[in-house]
Structure 1
Amino acid sequence: MTAKHQSGGRRAVAALLLLTSALAAPAGAETLQGALAKAYASNPTLTGARAGQRATDEGVAIQKASGRPALNLSGTYEESILKPTISFTSPQRTVNAQTQLSVPIYAGGQVRNGIKAAKTRVDAGQAQLRGTEMSIFSQTVAAYMDVIRDTAIVSLNRANVRVLEVNLQATNDRFEVGDVTRTDVAQSQSRLALARSDLQTSEANLITSKENYIALVGEAPDNLEPPPQLPGLPADPDSAVQVALRDNPDILAANKQREARAYDVKAAKGAVLPQVSAYTQAGYTNYLHSLNSSAQDANGNIIEGPQINKQAAAGVQISIPLYQGGRPGAQVRQNQALEAQAIEQAIETERGVIAQTRASYASWQASLETIKSAENAVSASSLSLEGVRAENSVGSRTILDILDAEQEALRARVQLVSARRNAYVAGFSLLASMGHAEADDLNLGAGALYDPMVNYKRVRGKWFDWDFDPAPRPVATRTVDTPAQNANVPAATTQQP
């Protein structure tokens, strides 16, 4: 989108972030790259931020207008209803036209610093737009992974319900022949009821995740493909922080806002300096033969007075402020306070980015360790369940032991699914906090990227008063026509993590 520190090697690995999933995806499946591209094109938060940036672009043209010539034309038509009783030369009607051209020469630096402040705010806005992109992408990745996780959890819970139903039937059969007690049957019934309750909860969570996905992407999720590996992740939190301090758009935006406030102070100080401008004006008055004015020439002949009056003048005007009621001083102090606020906000933003980067790194590392532990737990619980069932068949284990082993195996699988989701989301959040998860980095497709400089270059030099844009139309897509989501799981969904 906008230029920033990045190398060819970084772009190469960034292209692998989502391109591999697009190449490997079967027909009809949705990839993470595709979901991000849809959010990039039609998410209302992002399209609204772009419109807001276009409004910020106009600040430059508005400030430039203060330093350009101003041309005004005024005209009046006056019909006298009641003439003054003591006036013998008052006209009955008058047409008057005046024009004035004013050219500012010196305004105490107000125009110059106002333009610099506006340009700096454009830079800040573009950095904020980059931050909005990464925020939407992070939310989209989280929503994408939530759907994958909750789909797997629903599948696991449905499989668990089926196992417990078979187990209850087997327990009832064994109770009929006196092999187990009523207590064993009650325990099986209890676990099945709890499993069905967990299934209903997981189905509700899946529906919620799908609806959140629709809110971000604009379309319902359809057979989401597993995401590719995340490249470019840092080796330690310190290196991540160093990259974030250099590339994070929130920090860049805060620093630019601070610079803009400094220009505001300089512009406000110009109010106490002399103002110089050049001007020219012309006037035309026509009394429409209603002016009662006459005179005699040397021969005694009556001469009717003039019915048209013309005038023109040009000059230079200088205005030296002597006292303005304390307004300039108050405005300077106000802008100095706002500059101080911007300085503190830049430090606050930097603190937040550092904390977010370190926290994301810690979360990512913890999730990776959790994945290892969960994989071991899945393997051990599966082996334990097989052993308990075998021992139960020879009478050395109870039905409760089987139920406990099945529950432990389910928890291990759910934990593994959740850990994989958390690791991926934390890794992407880490890239985002480093400033490496915007549209330029994700290879969303040639020609698909929004360049805010295009609009800025289009409007920065405009000077025509009637140069309007077409009436705005919505860019984001509505989701009112998307069907309400359900907890259906594709048949190909793998039940084992």
Structure 2
Amino acid sequence: MAETLQGALAKAYASNPTLTGARAGQRATDENVPLQKANGRPAADVSGSYSESILKPTISFTAPQRTVNAQAQLNVPIYSGGTVRNGVKAAKTRVAAGQANLRGTEASVFSQTVAAYMDVIRDSAIVALNQANVKVLDVNLQATNDRFEVGDLTRTDVAQSESRLALARSDLQIAQSNLITSRENYIALVGEAPDNLEPPPQLPGLPANPETAVQVALRDNADILAAQKQREARHYDAKAAKGGVLPRVSAFTQAGYTNYLHSLDSTALDANGNAVEGPQINKQAVAGVQLTIPLYQGGRPAAQVRQTQALESQAIEQEIEIERGVIAQTRAAYASWQASLQTIDSNQKAVEAASLSLEGVRAENSVGSRTILDILNAEQEALNARVQLVSARRNAYVAGFSLLAAMGHAEADDLGLASGTLYDPMVNYDRVKGKWFDWDYGAAPMPVATRTVDTLPQNANVSPETAQQP
């Protein structure tokens, strides 16, 4: 069965390790939100101990021989100078930035997959063209030898035919090597070997001019959106750092229990004046509110604020840098796409002209007005024109897809992949953002991407359909 570009993209979307690894990294970023929220939640702990006195102090007559002790403590933050609130906002903003980066990774993987898909189609056609050229030159050489035997041609004509055939075979070997490389690269991206790839569909939503492309890119490009969110997160970091000089208020409660296990040497008198064993159990509980007012911390808070402000300034400059790069990338992709379309038209005319020229040279050779070298040159020109046409078609499609990627419109939603296969990063975020339980570890990691160690080494065989010259 033939493979479509949409099918290849769906396979890469589901099992490409770059993409599945980026999703795992985004899930790790999601956990920063509950981590920051934990700083503002109550903390409770219980401790216990058992001690046995090996050597009693010589000056103490009441030291217990053994002791069981238990303590419980609850601490509830009330006000932390805004560090928790701004820390949570920064974490949420970084989640949004990570989701935008995930979109960018998705577009990058799709761009690589489209290029690999078109590389296989191009190199398969080039191999087929070179195979056909070798067959033609082989027939020419046989015909040249036959005419040489009857004295119609010279040894020079035979040598020229032999030379062109040897060069054609060398070109065929190079083309076959390139095809194998393209097929192996396709496997690395898609996870399966390419099998009878169908021509790609028309690309939707290509802009009419570079100005429109840039406007769309500035609005929808994932890299720009991620840079904007990173800048916002740095702003919240700076606000959180300023809370280091503000008062902190927390409520606490403690409870303790001590049992001397009847080993405490203490006596007391009862109502009748008789000596009895003193109490062997001690209980205590306390609750209160704690206020901490920082007075001087060696300049640490100010340094942290200045540091976060510098990082925010860096994020602002990086946003501008990314914006510049996206604008340049979009304009360059548009220019490359337009140039490739014009190249296709030119090469199509060149193929038609070269084919007509080859027919004319052969006809003129049959009446003696053209030499064997003229035929060989015409055949080489026809081959070069067809190879350039195949390459131009590949370049135009890849440039068009790169333009869509720069505009932010080369993601799963834009490409019409089945909705059931789409990965929604919000599902994991909504699942973990409000978790409280300390033992909710989640499932053990398992591989998602498929391995290619069992795939067979690729060859340079092409199907009969591919062998049809464009």
Deviations for 1:131-158, whole angstroms, at most 9, x for unmatched residues?
0000000000000000000000000000
Residues in 2 aligned to 1:494 and 1:424: alpha-carbon distance in whole angstroms: 21
Which residue among 457, 460, 471 is the counterpart of 2:433? 460
Which residue among 221, 226, 249 is the counterpart of 1:248? 221
For residue 13 of structure 1, what is the aligned residue in structure 2?
Answer: none
Deviations for 1:294-320, whole angstroms, at most 9, x for unmatched residues?
123454311221100000000000001
* AA in 1 matched with 2:275: I
Residues in 2 aligned to 1:382 and 1:244: alpha-carbon distance in whole angstroms: 43
Deviations for 1:307-355, whole angstroms, at most 9, x for unmatched residues?
0000000000000111112211111111111111111111111111111
Residues in 2 aligned to 1:295 and 1:394: alpha-carbon distance in whole angstroms: 139
Residues in 1 aligned to 2:186 and 2:291: alpha-carbon distance in whole angstroms: 63
Which residue among 16, 33, 39 is the counterpart of 1:43? 16
Q: Establish whether residue 481 from structure 1 lines up as the match of residue 439 from structure 2.
A: no
Which residue among 56, 68, 71 is the counterpart of 2:44? 71
Residues in 1 aligned to 2:426 and 2:202: alpha-carbon distance in whole angstroms: 32
For residue 84 of structure 2, what is the aligned residue in structure 1?
Answer: 111
Q: Establish whether residue 288 from structure 1 lines up as the match of residue 261 from structure 2.
A: yes
For residue 15 of structure 1, what is the aligned residue in structure 2?
Answer: none
Structure 1: where are the runs of 5+ without partners?
1-27
Which residue among 187, 208, 230 is the counterpart of 1:257? 230
Q: Establish whether residue 34 from structure 1 lines up as the match of residue 7 from structure 2.
A: yes
Which residue among 341, 363, 384 is the counterpart of 1:390? 363
* AA in 1 matched with 2:176: E
Q: Establish whether residue 157 from structure 1 lines up as the match of residue 119 from structure 2.
A: no
Residues in 2 aligned to 1:484 and 1:334: alpha-carbon distance in whole angstroms: 53
Residues in 2 aligned to 1:279 and 1:73: alpha-carbon distance in whole angstroms: 14
For residue 210 of structure 1, what is the aligned residue in structure 2?
Answer: 183
Q: Establish whether residue 495 from structure 1 lines up as the match of residue 445 from structure 2.
A: no
Residues in 1 aligned to 2:45 and 2:293: alpha-carbon distance in whole angstroms: 24
* AA in 2 matched with 1:455: N
Runs of 4+ aligned residues of structure 1 deviating over 4 Å after TM superposition are none
What is the 5 A alignment of 1:320-359? Answer: 320-359=293-332
How many pairs does the alignment contain? 470
The residue matched to 1:447 in structure 2 has which SS? helix
Deviation at 1:470, TM superposition (A): 1.3
* AA in 2 matched with 1:178: G
Residues in 2 aligned to 1:299 and 1:35: alpha-carbon distance in whole angstroms: 97
Which residue among 157, 166, 171 is the counterpart of 1:193? 166
Which residue among 235, 239, 252 is the counterpart of 1:279? 252
The residue matched to 1:397 in structure 2 has which SS? coil
Q: Establish whether residue 54 from structure 1 lines up as the match of residue 27 from structure 2.
A: yes
* AA in 2 matched with 1:259: E
Question: Do the aligned residues in 2 keep the contact of 1:159 with 1:495 (CA within 8 Å)?
Answer: no
Question: Do the aligned residues in 2 keep the contact of 1:54 with 1:456 (CA within 8 Å)?
Answer: yes
For residue 267 of structure 1, what is the aligned residue in structure 2?
Answer: 240
Q: Establish whether residue 424 from structure 1 lines up as the match of residue 397 from structure 2.
A: yes
Residues in 2 aligned to 1:247 and 1:74: alpha-carbon distance in whole angstroms: 54
Residues in 2 aligned to 1:479 and 1:442: alpha-carbon distance in whole angstroms: 25
Which residue among 350, 364, 368 is the counterpart of 2:337? 364
Q: Establish whether residue 176 from structure 1 lines up as the match of residue 149 from structure 2.
A: yes
The residue matched to 2:419 in structure 1 has which SS? coil
For residue 19 of structure 1, what is the aligned residue in structure 2?
Answer: none
* AA in 1 matched with 2:378: A
Residues in 2 aligned to 1:173 and 1:346: alpha-carbon distance in whole angstroms: 72
For residue 8 of structure 1, what is the aligned residue in structure 2?
Answer: none
Question: Do the aligned residues in 2 keep the contact of 1:353 with 1:433 (CA within 8 Å)?
Answer: yes
Deviation at 1:494, TM superposition (A): 4.0
Question: Do the aligned residues in 2 keep the contact of 1:57 with 1:456 (CA within 8 Å)?
Answer: yes
For residue 220 of structure 1, what is the aligned residue in structure 2?
Answer: 193
Residues in 1 aligned to 2:343 and 2:144: alpha-carbon distance in whole angstroms: 36
The residue matched to 2:253 in structure 1 has which SS? strand
Q: Establish whether residue 99 from structure 1 lines up as the match of residue 77 from structure 2.
A: no
Residues in 1 aligned to 2:13 and 2:416: alpha-carbon distance in whole angstroms: 12
Residues in 1 aligned to 2:199 and 2:271: alpha-carbon distance in whole angstroms: 109
Structure 2: where are the runs of 5+ without partners?
none
Which residue among 282, 285, 291 is the counterpart of 1:312? 285
Residues in 2 aligned to 1:135 and 1:122: alpha-carbon distance in whole angstroms: 20
The residue matched to 2:354 in structure 1 has which SS? helix
For residue 437 of structure 1, what is the aligned residue in structure 2?
Answer: 410
Residues in 1 aligned to 2:271 and 2:453: alpha-carbon distance in whole angstroms: 92
Residues in 2 aligned to 1:305 and 1:407: alpha-carbon distance in whole angstroms: 113
Identity among equivalent positions (%) equals: 83
For residue 126 of structure 1, what is the aligned residue in structure 2?
Answer: 99
The residue matched to 2:54 in structure 1 has which SS? coil
* AA in 1 matched with 2:277: E
Aligned-pair RMSD on alpha carbons? 0.7
The residue matched to 1:484 in structure 2 has which SS? coil
User: Which stretch of the first structure deviates more once superposed, 222-231 or 320-329?
Assistant: 320-329
